[in-house]
């Protein structure tokens, strides 16, 4: 992908973006007749942190491997290394567009609120004053989704957690879906953060579980759209499916082409990236784009007096990629099996750029 060519100016503590390039496919220009227009750029992202566990063996949770005596020898030193690495990634995401980085960041595979507090208190992130929205989920491994937000840009007014019940599997336990309603640089938005069921046992055998998760996300979205058909909804997460899988196409109704949207459809900007072979994780020498951000069509268009989608990014910096060995070219992760690699995550983070005209 070609980089977005922008000029950044600072006025009244807000970073204003003057777009000097006609953005492909969006008909967007930073000029209006003889005068430049100025825009606030805000970034909304998602990052699977891959097993951000503390070192304590929590009763009732299958976290024994992430303890000092477990097979991964998960010591305080390794935990602090992991926290430092996660902070490094988050601190750099999107800063070439907005020096404040992510206004909103959905995260997954966090054990509890304590590890998130440790993360945002790191020197690289502390000055951003990130706040946390988190609920404990019933997942057997004890991993949850959560949201970080910068109060300079986003102000939540309601949060809720939504459980996925599978009637045929009475003991089924997975991550809850997080819904956050708030105001993002003056516009009301509704954000759903997800980590859908894995492909354990095979993609085909487990497909129906992700379809059910998509149905729950769709139900949450529809409950909002039934009240306000023009609601700005963003659904994000590690969906364990690609944009072309039936969970996204048939159940979430997420469409890859903006001009093909029907009433109630979501637009999936990750579809075109996936078609180009761009992914967020690799397996068996194949890249997949499981980490996705989709949105309602109220975030599309050319009326920048309200928030509008501009660009989707898979954040792929050289330090996030393994440079040697069997997994050369794959995301540089913390462990390979039980062997400590000292990397980051098996997923690359993703984000979207939203812009709004300054009045």
Instruction: Report percent pLDDT > 70 for the chain.
Output: 90
Q: Is residue 25 scored above 60 in pLDDT?
A: no
| pLDDT tier at 39, thresholds 50, 70, 90 | confident
Q: Where are the beta strands (DSSP E) in 152-289?
A: 154-162, 177-184, 187-195, 233-238, 254-255, 266-267, 281-283, 286-288
Provide the pLDDT for residue 31: 43
Report the candidate in 310, 300, 350 with the shortest Cα–Cα distance to residue 22.
310
Local structure of 308: helix, strand or coil: strand
How many of the other CB atoms lie within 10 Å of CB of 10?
9
In angstroms, rounded to a whole number, what is the distance separating the alpha carbons of residues 141 and 63? 6
Local structure of 310: helix, strand or coil: strand
Report the candidate in 328, 337, 249 with the shortest Cα–Cα distance to residue 294.
249
Provide the pLDDT for residue 35: 57
| pLDDT tier at 359, thresholds 50, 70, 90 | low
How many of the other CB atoms lie within 10 Å of CB of 25?
9
Residue ranges of the domains in the chain?
Answer: 6-357
Lowest mean pLDDT among 4-13, 62-71, 157-166, 252-261: 4-13
List pLDDT tens digits, range 278-309.
Answer: 999 999 999 999 999 999 999 999 899 999 99
Do the beta carbons of residue 116 and residue 49 sit within 8 Å? no
List pLDDT tens digits, range 136-186.
Answer: 999 999 999 999 999 999 999 999 999 999 988 989 999 999 999 999 999
> What's the CATH fold of domain 6-357?
Deoxyribonuclease I; Chain A (3.60.10)
Provide the pLDDT for residue 64: 95
Instruction: Report percent pLDDT > 90 for the chain.
Output: 84
- Per DSSP bridges, beta strands 31-32 and 35-36 are antiparallel
Q: Average pLDDT, stretch 187-203?
A: 96
Torsion of CA 206, 207, 209, 214, to 10 degrees: 150
Q: Average pLDDT, stretch 82-106?
A: 97
Q: Average pLDDT, stretch 14-29?
A: 38
Highest mean pLDDT out of 137-141, 168-172, 199-203, 252-256? 252-256
Do the beta carbons of residue 90 and residue 102 sit within 8 Å? yes
32 burial via Cβ count (<10 Å: 0-12, 13-18, 19+): exposed
Provide the pLDDT for residue 38: 83
Provide the pLDDT for residue 113: 97
Q: Average pLDDT, stretch 107-133?
A: 98
Provide the pLDDT for residue 57: 94
Provide the pLDDT for residue 8: 37
In angstroms, rounded to a whole number, what is the distance separating the alpha carbons of residues 96 and 5? 10
List pLDDT tens digits, range 306-354.
Answer: 999 999 999 999 999 999 989 999 999 999 999 999 999 999 999 999 9
Q: Where are the beta strands (DSSP E) in 201-303?
A: 233-238, 254-255, 266-267, 281-283, 286-288, 291-296
């Amino acid at each position: 992908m070609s980089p977005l060519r922008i000029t950044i100016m600072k006025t009244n503590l807000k970073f204003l973006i003057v777009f000097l390039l006609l953005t492909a496919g969006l008909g967007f220009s930073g000029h209006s007749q003889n005068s430049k227009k100025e825009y606030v750029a805000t970034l909304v992202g998602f990052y699977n942190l891959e097993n951000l566990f503390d070192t304590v063996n929590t009763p009732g949770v299958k976290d024994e491997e992430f303890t000092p005596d477990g097979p991964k020898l998960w010591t305080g030193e390794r935990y602090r290394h992991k926290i430092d690495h996660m902070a490094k990634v988050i601190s750099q995401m999107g800063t070439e567009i907005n020096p404040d980085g992510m206004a909103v960041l959905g995260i997954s595979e966090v054990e509890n609120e304590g590890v998130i507090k440790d993360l945002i208190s790191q020197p690289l992130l502390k000055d951003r004053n990130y706040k946390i929205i988190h609920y404990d989920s019933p997942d057997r491994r004890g991993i949850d989704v959560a949201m970080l937000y910068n109060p300079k840009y986003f102000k939540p007014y309601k949060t809720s957690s939504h459980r996925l019940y599978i009637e045929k599997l009475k003991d089924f336990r997975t991550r809850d879906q997080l819904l956050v309603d708030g105001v993002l640089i003056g516009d009301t938005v509704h954000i759903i953060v997800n980590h859908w069921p894995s492909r354990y046992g095979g993609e085909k055998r487990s497909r129906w579980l992700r379809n059910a998760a998509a149905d729950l996300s769709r139900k949450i979205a529809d409950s909002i759209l039934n009240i306000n058909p023009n609601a700005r909804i963003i659904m994000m997460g590690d969906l364990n499916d690609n944009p072309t899988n039936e969970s996204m196409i048939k159940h979430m109704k997420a469409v890859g082409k903006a001009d093909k949207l029907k009433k109630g459809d979501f637009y999936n900007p990750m579809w075109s990236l996936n078609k180009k072979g761009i992914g967020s994780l690799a397996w068996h020498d194949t890249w997949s784009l499981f980490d996705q951000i989709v949105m309602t069509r109220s975030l599309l268009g050319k009326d920048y007096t309200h928030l509008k989608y501009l660009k989707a990014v898979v954040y792929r910096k050289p330090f996030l990629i393994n440079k040697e060995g069997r997994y050369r070219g794959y995301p540089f992760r913390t462990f390979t099996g039980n062997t400590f690699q000292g990397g980051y995550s098996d997923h690359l983070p993703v984000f979207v750029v939203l812009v709004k005209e300054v009045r």
